[in-house]
Amino acid sequence: MLNFFLLIVIYTGIYALMAIGQNVITGYAGMLSLCQAGFFAIGSYATAILSTTYGWSFWATLPVAALLSALFGVLIGLPTLRLKGDYLAIATLGFAEIVRNVLNNWDSLTRGPMGIQKIPMPSIFGFVINPYKKTGFLVMTIIFVLIAYFLFQRLARSRMGRALEAIREDEIAAESMGINTTKYKVWAFAIGASVAGVAGSLQAVFSLSVTPGTYTFMVSIMVLCMVVLGGMGNFKAVILGAFIIQLISYFPQLVGLSSMIPPQFKQILFGLILVVMMIWRPQGLLGREVRDYSRLTGEKGSVFRKKAKQAVSSTQGGER
Amino acid sequence: MILLETKGLTREYGGVVAVSNVDFQVNQGLITGLIGPNGAGKTTLFNNMTGLDMPTKGKVFFNGHDITGKPAHRICRMGIARTFQNIRLFKELTVLENVMIGRHFKTGKSPFHGRFLNALDSYFRMSREDEQMYSSALKWLDFFEMGELCDELAKNLPYGHQRELEIARALATDPQLLFLDEPAAGMNPQETEHLMETIGKIRDLGITVVLIEHDMKLVMNICDSITVLNYGQKIAQGTPREIKHDPAVIEAYLGKEEE
């Protein structure tokens, strides 16, 4: 039981990395992309192939997985920049499916549907991180998520985060304010893809085998669900979203009802979550993160300042 | 001195000629008005000069440089800022952040500028940059007496303030030339009065202003020079007094007198 719970937490971590990437693309830059599964697969296969065929260590394959995913992020980002909304979603969905089909059919490299087995376990300072023993792997996953969280949180609070938000709010206005929207949108894709690639690496050394069947459309949908459920534009929220979604998807097994509840049940639930959230709480459970500039103003009691401002704005609102 | 001019600018959409062979000049330090009936091609002309649209024929020169067909963000960086007819604020961002976006390209310069390392470098210099952006953003908000509203979301501002915020955001890019697309649209007479003072103050800062406006009181009072468009063609150009008595302009606005 505890073991099973640890498994859920590990998967939460792996998916949280993907959700963090999705949050940059969707939550900040406002692009509805559905290809995290594709980048996830690229990361997984990069680690799998490099560590089995070429004998690289896991740590050496990580940057390759991230960079390769980022490269594909740029490749998908450039031609689809002109697309918006549904059209972008369809194009990126197509990309993810292309990746899966290539993996399924490029037998000489990926061994097709058989996949790649016997991926060596990662080790650090002589300590082997054995995925069967969960705890070591759990710690590694948590460290990865924490690092990603802090890096991305900082990124989002920087001028780049602000520029991405401007693009999301109004692309034409952002362009007219001197922001190179093309550059930033491609960057968002590259960054969002790279962290999904890292998640793929983790997935590869967690299951110690990769098969194309793991990287289906459902993965992208789950990641999108996590971001929508937690709250777009808030990295804490998407991690929370990842945990809740994982808990839901393993719920039948967790309570020992897997014989009664078919696995397809979770797909119904995800759809329901998306619909319910869109109707009643489109901002997600936690909502968008608000930047705090009080460190710049040097005023500590920003709550009081806000109250004073609210008073001002309400009187001004009354005039009209 | 001519700051910006178009030469034979034409923009066709399929068979529709929105702007036809327009020579438009903007003199430095003055307020230039661009007027004309609805659908005359004023906004199209604006879009073609600010890079949001590409002319079919003709050239745009700014400070003697050919800027025809350059992307909008480049043109902005060269010193042309604009506002929009239908307000285009970053609605979910705060007032302060909206203006800080205007400062965006002013920061982020580093020895690695334009290279990959620049991204990493600016990442670690964030707080200092934010301070620069913050103080200059606040300066422009104070110019519009909106400093108190800086934490408010842009979408929650009253309409008049939204118009002003858009101007503040444009000014934050330190432009030489400011395009205002119907700044007084939807304003009441008091607000228009206030806007006129503001535009005067902007000119006094040494910024050249071009404005599209339907409010004739505003245009005739503050513009130094007026260009009139009708059906995509320039039909008149001159001082407000000349424009008022120009037969072609009167015809465009009121129709031809029956003999």
Distance from CA of A134 to the nearest CA of B (A): 34
For residue A277 the two structure tokens come to 């959230």
Q: Chain A residues with CB inside 8 Å of B169's CB? A: 177
- 8-state DSSP, A210: B
Of A159, A293, A320, the CB nearest to B122: A159
Predicted TM-score (pTM) of this structure: 0.84
Q: Chain B residues with CB inside 8 Å of A166's CB? A: 90, 93, 101, 104
**pLDDT on residue B118:** 53
Which amino acid is residue A294, in one-letter code?
S
Residue B91 touches partner A, C-beta closer than 8 Å? yes
Residue A117 touches partner B, C-beta closer than 8 Å? no
Residue A139 touches partner B, C-beta closer than 8 Å? no
B126/A154 CB distance under 8 A: yes
Among residues B197, B188, B144, the alpha carbon closest in space to that of B167 is found at B144
Exposure pattern of B71-88 as b/e (b: 16+ CB <10 Å)? ebbebbbbbbbbbbeebb
Beta carbons within 10 angstroms of residue B44's beta carbon: 21
Q: What are B103-160's pLDDT values in tens digits? A: 888 776 554 444 455 555 555 555 566 777 777 888 888 888 888 888 888 888 888 8
- Tell me the pLDDT band of B180, cut-offs 50, 70 and 90: very high
**pLDDT on residue B119:** 54
A176/B129 CB distance under 8 A: no
- Pair A222, A214: CB distance under 8 Å: no
d(C-alpha A51, C-alpha A48), whole Å: 5
**Measuring CA to CA, how many Å separate A79 from each of A51, A72, A186, B18?**
32, 12, 10, 30
For residue A20 the two structure tokens come to 């963090």
Residue A282 touches partner B, C-beta closer than 8 Å? no
Q: Chain B residues with CB inside 8 Å of A288's CB? A: 92
B84/A163 CB distance under 8 A: no
Q: Chain B residues with CB inside 8 Å of A306's CB? A: 151
* HEC sequence for A58-89: HHHHHHHHHHHHHHHHHHHHHHHCCCCHHHHH
**In the predicted structure, residue B196 carries a pLDDT above the cut 50:** yes
**In the predicted structure, residue B173 carries a pLDDT above the cut 80:** yes
Specify whether the backbone of B212 is left (phi greater than 0), alpha (psi in -120 to 50) or beta: beta
Among residues B102, B87, B53, B100, the alpha carbon closest in space to that of B158 is found at B87
Domain ranges of chain B: 1-79+175-259, 90-173
**pLDDT on residue B39:** 84
Cross-strand partners of A127: A124
For every one of its 320 residues, what pLDDT tens digit does chain A have, with 9 covering 90 and above?
778 888 899 999 999 999 999 999 998 988 888 989 999 999 999 999 999 888 888 898 999 999 999 999 999 888 887 888 888 889 999 999 999 999 989 888 888 888 888 888 887 887 877 777 888 889 999 999 999 998 888 888 777 888 899 999 999 999 999 888 888 999 899 999 999 999 999 999 998 889 888 888 889 988 998 998 888 888 999 999 999 988 888 877 777 777 777 777 778 888 888 888 888 888 888 877 776 665 555 544 344 344 445 544 554 443 33
**pLDDT on residue A73:** 92
Residue A302 domain-assigned? Answer: no
- Pair A226, A242: CB distance under 8 Å: yes
**pLDDT on residue B249:** 84
Residue B43 touches partner A, C-beta closer than 8 Å? no
Residue A58 domain-assigned? Answer: yes
Residue A123 domain-assigned? Answer: yes
Which amino acid is residue A311, in one-letter code?
A
Pairing of strands B2-13, A127-128: unpaired
Chain B CA closest to residue A319: B158
Q: What are B19-54's pLDDT values in tens digits? A: 888 899 899 889 999 998 888 888 998 899 998 888
For residue A149 the two structure tokens come to 């969280």
Residue B89 touches partner A, C-beta closer than 8 Å? yes
**Measuring CA to CA, how many Å separate A204 from each of A14, A50, A66, A153?**
11, 11, 13, 26
Of A175, A288, A296, the CB nearest to B130: A296
Residue B108 touches partner A, C-beta closer than 8 Å? yes
Domain assignment of residue A119, given as a range: 2-289
d(C-alpha B4, C-alpha A99), whole Å: 50
Residue A12 domain-assigned? Answer: yes
Among residues A176, A131, A10, the alpha carbon closest in space to that of B81 is found at A176
Q: What is the CATH number of domain B1-79+175-259?
A: 3.40.50.300
- What residues contact B36, with CB distance under 8 A and at least 6 apart? B42, B228, B229, B230, B235, B252
**In the predicted structure, residue B184 carries a pLDDT above the cut 50:** yes
B173/A178 CB distance under 8 A: yes
- 8-state DSSP, A23: I
- Best probe of the B interface among A293, A307, A310, by most B CBs < 10 A, is A293
Distance from CA of B24 to the nearest CA of A (A): 21
d(C-alpha A200, C-alpha A5), whole Å: 21
Among residues B254, B237, B252, the alpha carbon closest in space to that of B22 is found at B237
A309/B89 CB distance under 8 A: no
B158/A320 CB distance under 8 A: yes
d(C-alpha B179, C-alpha B7), whole Å: 18
- Pair A10, A242: CB distance under 8 Å: no
Structural domain total, chain A = 1
Of B71, B76, B131, the CB nearest to A177: B76
Helix axes B159-171, B126-143, angle to 10 degrees: 130
Q: What is the CATH classification number for the domain harbouring A81?
A: 1.10.3470
**In the predicted structure, residue B205 carries a pLDDT above the cut 50:** yes
Residue percentage of chain B with pLDDT more than 70: 90
